[in-house]
Amino acid sequence: MNLLVTGAAGFVGSRVAAKLLEAGHTVAVFDDLSIGSPENVPEGAELIEGDLRDADAIRHAVVGCDAVVHLAAQALVPESVENPQKAIDINLVGGTNLLEAMRKERVKRLVHSSTAAVYGTPTKVPIEEDDPKMPINPYGGTKLAFEALLQSYHAAYGFHVTAFRYFNPYGPTENHHPETHAIPNFINASLTGKPVPLFWNGEQTRDFFFVDDIARAHVMGLERDGFNIYNLGSGSGHKVRDVVELIFKLTGKDSGIEDLGERAGDPPQLLADTTRARTELGWEPEVSLEDGLKQTITAFEKRLNKD
């Protein structure tokens, strides 16, 4: 298929684009490069620099596509709290520009990157796709609203949609500025000899899983008809403090822990029920936490030495 992949110069999108190329698809990347880098775009993919908020630019990029894999977003929770309008403009207005471009160009197949943030503070764990959804930040709110919009385009225009709700992905290509995600902050602290910052003394449980497992799911999602939503996670939780201790072991550098105390809105447990993805897609996470951390640490070490 001829595919347009939005946001594929970033952390997850670059790995998704690489897996799609490996599967034999033709890939064009649409990215504004505000967070991503041209260096992340895999060899063999065409880079189109553009902004989702530019309706003409995204419609031009959609021409000739068979399907779209949509990962472009304002995806940093703290930024969405500080500047909710930006999250609305990119995730909802920009997302609508994409859907309208697809409708007008008769492209009716979409794989979408959603988030576990749509659930907010869970009522139970593990979390199933049909559990209550009560976002506690604008990022999660815009993602849930866009899922509803996708459902309406499926019902009204016959779009085939597969959306994946990520839990706690990590991997070698993660390099945000500022970095707000746990594992890259833990690795960077360990490698540079700084105390690892932990809320709740690291007693929370989180569902960490490797970025390449996400990428494989997106390849599978292209084959699904209808409207589908799947949780993506490891299916087994890890206590945050235990993950930090494993990072210390793998880096050989125990830089200590800085306890930041309690944090409002921080649920004690987040864990995905991935039964639906396993049974309907045949998807299973393949990379263990230790193997994924080894790959990630190696990449971060190279980046630090390069800098």
Residues marked as catalytic: 139
Find out whether 124 and 132 touch, Cβ atoms under 8 Å: no
Of the candidates 166, 172, 258, the one whose C-alpha atom is nearest the C-alpha of residue 221 is 166
Within the chain, how many helices (H) and strands (E) appear?
11, 13
Angle at 121 between CA 111 and CA 140, to 5 degrees: 35
Angle (deg, nearest 10), helices 55-62 and 95-104: 40
Pairing, β 238-239 against β 205-206? antiparallel
**162-178 as b/e: b if 16+ CB within 10 A:** bbbbbbbbbbbbbbbee
